[in-house]
Chains A and B, each alone.
Chain A
């Protein structure tokens, strides 16, 4: 894959009086910050040990935050495929790590604060959607443990197949949301609006990511790019991008709404 002008620009340094810093490092640093937002939103409740806040907000804040991190992790590869800009590749590992961290935090807080019967196991696996979530968290542990360069060298060529377990987590997440939300048609007469349900939001984001990973699609994109028809690629990807942004925007809105509420509102007293 030829190196783009943006990649070349990113490899250059910003010059300051005290030294230089690589432009890519600066850009990646800024792009890595959003992954910390869910933890930031829930941090006040954790520090205050407010069970009410944690019980009511962790599922929305950390769960949705984990979904967003996973989607961003899965988004990096299609973006590289379409734009040929490889400088964003490190974001894939970072958001994967933050997805695991967020999921582990979610599971940990849920095992303590939720009202499911059965103790810790009941709160973690007392229901089908909880079991799916627990499975996601458990499977993310090996991925988190191997998401580093030493482990990559240790595993060698087996590192990448192992990391493809992320696709399993992706499917389990959809199952988790399906078991949690259902299809949304039995709730009331008309049900909730489609994009007000997390399952459809997740599906809307997953379809473009899945399509852009299909080998025929990737080959077609590569042929068009080799023939200098990037506009055709962008035109074809545009509907998928719109669909992704639509679902992603609802999830981001949910995250911001619930997260700001969990951070700003005073914890309810006992």
Chain B
């Protein structure tokens, strides 16, 4: 953001006014606070001492102490036993509700004393009748006592909080009022200190500031290298040559060429003496024969002839010669000229090469009391820009061309300003305010150094970050490779297992097929078969079974029950099916035997007694023989329990 001193002065006024307003507001607030703090403190004290007055937002379990009807009064022990199942947990209820304001204005201070109507928060695991769940009801202390069985204690308990509030409110009022007054005083002091600091900064010469501009700071001191002649000619506010604010004039506070604070050419801090800065003999110094250097002109400072340097392309766009009135561009508010190059003074625009042009100052914008002008200049191939805070004096143009004081220039807004030092130093003999230019060069050089350092640091940081990122990426790649290797290994194992299982299934299928084709079913476990049975029974009954079993069973079963119980088959042992089938055959044999036995028995009976007897029922269809249970066994009846024993006893 660009701020001119004029605008800064406006900003200072604004800040000063704002500081006054804030200080006044604080003082008035403190006064009102002191007057208001008494009742407010009392109210806050009452709120702070009644935690139950503001209902908690958390949902809890609570219990409302009922009115005692008959029997003993309600106690915390009873409530704990009723809601928690343990009388010893009354202490938890007591701790939860200790000091809580209750509806009758009292508080739970003694676990042996609770009043009906009190709202007691319970632990989370409380349950049972009377246990409510929700937000704890807001307690509004009532002036009247809900329970009258303890009037004296209740009256004392109800009066105590009010007296406490009153006493606490007075003390709090003093404390709060004093704190606010101190706060207002501190604010006023801060505002005044800011104001004084701002005034001191404005009084202090710009070149005495030792702080080098940072990379993001605007260059607030430097050289005004050109002034718009239009403004100088027309604006009466533009300082004249004898204006005390002009550098190099009559103002003694500004460092001139003979000022003791000004470092001379032989000063160690002078750019020419600094080996780090490009001097006149430096290869990078643009000489007169440099393609970017202004062409010779009688009115223009002449430099030492130099060898031809590398030719550089100049930026495109229109260019105007500041020294040429015909080429001057009329100032226009809000218009900013594009950057250009230094040009030879007085040379017509069409006759000089583009690289030798320089830009005149133009009115950038109008803000505040002063017209701000942007001056675009170029040094070598690096254009930069300065802004004037005041319209330049009319006499500056011819005398210096860079006649603005260091105070009047505001800002450089482009980079690579350090290159301005060299061409300006070459022209130092013709410029009165070369000290400003030199300071600008110094500042720009420092800024360049700092920028370079920052660039190096940023480069180092970027390199470190890149190295870290590359390392992390390498680790991630290694992990991914490890995971991939593990997955491939697992997949290989699964494939191997599948192949093994498939092979086993194939063997099982072959074995089953072979077993089905075998002539006889196994009577023992399959392990004993291969060594014994094949040697003894190959020719026993080979022809009868294979034609029946293998052809019918394997084709029928898979077609009928493909999805019924697929999991049971692979897990069974090779001889399981044969064993099961043998068991089935055994069961069938048993059933057949049982059935045969019944048939034989029936046939025998029919043969012995005839079919009519076999189906004849003498008692008729639907009747069973007399059960023999005579209904004469009741009490007193002949066959009653014990009657036979009594008859037997009477027998001789």
Contacts and interface: CB of A to CB of B under 8 A. Distances in A.
Interface in A124-171: 124-128, 131, 134-135, 138-139, 141-142, 145-146, 151, 154-158, 161-162, 165
Contacts of A12: none
Interface residues of A, number: 54
Contact of B590 (A56, A59, A142, A154): A142
Given A182-B621, A269-B639, A262 B629 contact: yes
A53 B583 contact: no
A146 B588 CA distance: 12
A187 B584 contact: no
B132 interface: no
Contacts of B565: 157
B639 A268 contact: yes
Contacts of B568: 157
A202 to B, nearest CB: 13
Given A142-B587, A187-B621, A268 B598 contact: no
A162 B620 CA distance: 37
A156 B608 contact: no
A121 B576 CA distance: 40
B388 to A, nearest CB: 88
A155 B125 CA distance: 55
Given A56-B628, A121-B601, A156 B580 contact: yes
A83 interface: no
B641 A57 contact: no
A269 B644 contact: yes
Max count, chain A CB within 10 A of own CB: residue among B577, B622, B626, B628: B622
B622 A56 contact: no
A161 to B, nearest CB: 8
Contact of A135 (B577, B598, B604): B598
Given A134-B598, A138-B595, A182-B622, A126 B605 contact: yes
Contacts of B615: 127-128, 179
B609 interface: yes
B560 to A, nearest CB: 13
A184 B621 contact: yes
A197 interface: yes
B633 interface: yes
A179 B639 CA distance: 34
Contacts of A59: 624
A52 interface: yes
A183 B615 CA distance: 14
Contacts of B583: 151, 154-156, 158
A197 to B, nearest CB: 6
B589 to A, nearest CB: 9
A15 B509 CA distance: 50
B580 A125 contact: no
Interface string B151-194: 00000000000000000000000000000000000000000000
Given A55-B628, A265-B629, A118 B605 contact: yes
B602 interface: yes
Nearest to A57: B627
B640 interface: yes
Contact of B614 (A128, A138, A165): A128
Contact of B605 (A121, A154, A182, A187): A121
Given A60-B624, A118-B609, A268-B628, A131 B602 contact: yes
B581 interface: yes
A181 interface: yes
B623 interface: yes
Interface in B573-619: 576-577, 579-581, 583-584, 587-588, 590-591, 594-595, 597-598, 601-602, 604-605, 608-609, 613-615, 617
Contact of B629 (A57, A121, A156, A186): A57
A192 interface: yes
Contacts of A114: 625
B524 interface: no
B623 A187 contact: yes
Contacts of A162: 584, 587-588, 591
B576 A266 contact: no
Nearest to A51: B628
A157 to B, nearest CB: 6
Contact of B572 (A145, A156, A261, A262): A156
Interface in A59-113: 59-60
B580 to A, nearest CB: 3
Contacts of A11: none
A66 to B, nearest CB: 15
A192 B622 contact: yes
B630 interface: yes
A154 B604 contact: no
A13 interface: no
B497 to A, nearest CB: 26
B551 to A, nearest CB: 20
A126 B609 contact: yes
A192 B598 CA distance: 31
Contacts of B601: 121, 124-125, 131, 134
Given A59-B624, A187-B622, A268-B633, A146 B587 contact: yes
Nearest to A172: B598
Contacts of B640: 266
A56 B627 contact: yes
Contacts of A180: 622, 624
Interface in A212-262: 258, 261-262
A57 B630 CA distance: 12
B579 A154 contact: yes
Contacts of B627: 55-57, 60, 258
Contact of B598 (A117, A125, A155, A182): A125
Contact of A268 (B584, B604, B629): B629
Nearest to A270: B644
Nearest 4 pairs of A and B residues by beta carbon: A56-B627, A182-B621, A156-B580, A138-B594
26 contacts: A53-B628, A53-B629, A56-B628, A59-B624, A126-B613, A126-B614, A127-B617, A131-B598, A134-B601, A139-B591, A141-B590, A141-B594, A145-B590, A154-B580, A156-B577, A156-B583, A162-B587, A162-B588, A181-B622, A183-B621, A187-B623, A258-B627, A262-B629, A266-B639, A268-B629, A269-B639
Interface of B: 565, 568, 572, 576-577, 579-581, 583-584, 587-588, 590-591, 594-595, 597-598, 601-602, 604-605, 608-609, 613-615, 617, 620-630, 633, 639-641, 644
Given A131-B602, A187-B620, A192-B622, 13 more contacts: A59-B624, A121-B605, A126-B605, A126-B609, A126-B614, A128-B615, A131-B614, A135-B594, A138-B595, A158-B584, A162-B588, A191-B622, A266-B639
